[in-house]
Structure 1
Amino acid sequence: MTFAALQPLADRAALFTALRQDALSAAADALGEHRWDADLTAGTLTFTANADPTRQLVTRAHLIATIAPGPRSLLWAWAHPQGDPQGVAAQLRAYGTEHGVAELTSPEVPFPAEASGDADWIAQAAHTIGGVAVELTGRSPYYSAPVDGGTRAVFLLDAPLAPLTVADAVVALPRVLSGAALPDARTSVWDLARLAGWTLTWTDEAFSGATVVDTSGTATFRFDEQARIRGVESSLHGR
Structure 2
Amino acid sequence: MTFAALQPLADRAAFFVALRQDALTTAVDALGEHRWDADMAAGTLTFTANANPAHQVVTRPHLIATIAPGPRSLLWAWAHPQGDAQGVAAQLRDYGTQYDIAELSRSELAFPEDTGSDLDEWIAQVAHQIGTVAVEITGRSPYYSAPIGGGTRAVFVLDAPLAPLTVQDAVISAPRILSGLALSDARSAVWDAARLAGWNLQWTDEAFSGAIVTDASGSATFRFDEQARIVGIEAPGLTG
TM over 0.5: yes
Per-residue Cα deviation, 1:7-58 (whole angstroms, up to 9, x for no partner): 1101100000000000000000111111111112222110000100010000
Residue of structure 1 equivalent to 2:180 = 179
Greater Cα shift, 229-238 or 176-185:
229-238
Q: Distance in 1 between matches of 2:29 and 2:238?
A: 27
Residue of structure 1 equivalent to 2:153 = 152
TM-score (norm 2): 0.97
Residue of structure 2 equivalent to 1:196 = 197
Residue of structure 2 equivalent to 1:207 = 208
The verdict on how the C-alpha distance between 1:208 and 1:32 changes in structure 2, with shifts beyond 3 A counting, is: same
Residue of structure 1 equivalent to 2:114 = 114
Q: Distance in 2 between matches of 1:3 and 1:229?
A: 26
Residue of structure 1 equivalent to 2:80 = 80
Q: Distance in 2 between matches of 1:85 and 1:235?
A: 48
Deviation at 1:194, TM superposition (A): 0.4
Residue of structure 2 equivalent to 1:93 = 93
Per-residue Cα deviation, 1:51-100 (whole angstroms, up to 9, x for no partner): 00010000000000000111111000001111111100000000001011
Residue of structure 1 equivalent to 2:37 = 37
Q: Distance in 2 between matches of 1:14 and 1:238?
A: 22
Deviation at 1:235, TM superposition (A): 3.1
Say what the alpha-carbon RMSD is for the aligned residues.
Answer: 1.2
Q: Percent of pairs identical after alignment? A: 74
Q: Distance in 1 between matches of 2:176 and 2:44?
A: 29
Deviation at 1:236, TM superposition (A): 4.1
Tell me if structure 1 keeps the 8 A contact 2:68–2:152.
Answer: yes
Greater Cα shift, 175-184 or 47-56:
175-184
Secondary structure, counterpart of 1:174 in structure 2: helix
Tell me if structure 1 keeps the 8 A contact 2:172–2:239.
Answer: no
Gaps spanning 5+ residues in structure 1: where?
Answer: none
Tell me if structure 2 keeps the 8 A contact 1:218–1:236.
Answer: no
Output the amino acid matched with 1:82.
Q
Q: Distance in 2 between matches of 1:175 and 1:43?
A: 34
**Which aligned runs of 4 or more in structure 1 are off by greater than 2 angstroms?**
235-239
Output the amino acid matched with 2:143.
Y
Residue of structure 1 equivalent to 2:24 = 24
Residue of structure 1 equivalent to 2:130 = 129
Secondary structure, counterpart of 2:235 in structure 1: strand
Q: Distance in 2 between matches of 1:50 and 1:128?
A: 30
Secondary structure, counterpart of 1:93 in structure 2: helix
Tell me if structure 2 keeps the 8 A contact 1:40–1:82.
Answer: no
Per-residue Cα deviation, 1:136-165 (whole angstroms, up to 9, x for no partner): 000000000011110110000000000000
Deviation at 1:130, TM superposition (A): 0.4
Tell me if structure 1 keeps the 8 A contact 2:65–2:75.
Answer: yes
Tell me if structure 1 keeps the 8 A contact 2:24–2:162.
Answer: yes
Q: Distance in 1 between matches of 2:238 and 2:225?
A: 28
The verdict on how the C-alpha distance between 1:151 and 1:238 changes in structure 2, with shifts beyond 3 A counting, is: closer
The verdict on how the C-alpha distance between 1:58 and 1:151 changes in structure 2, with shifts beyond 3 A counting, is: same
Output the amino acid matched with 1:47.
F
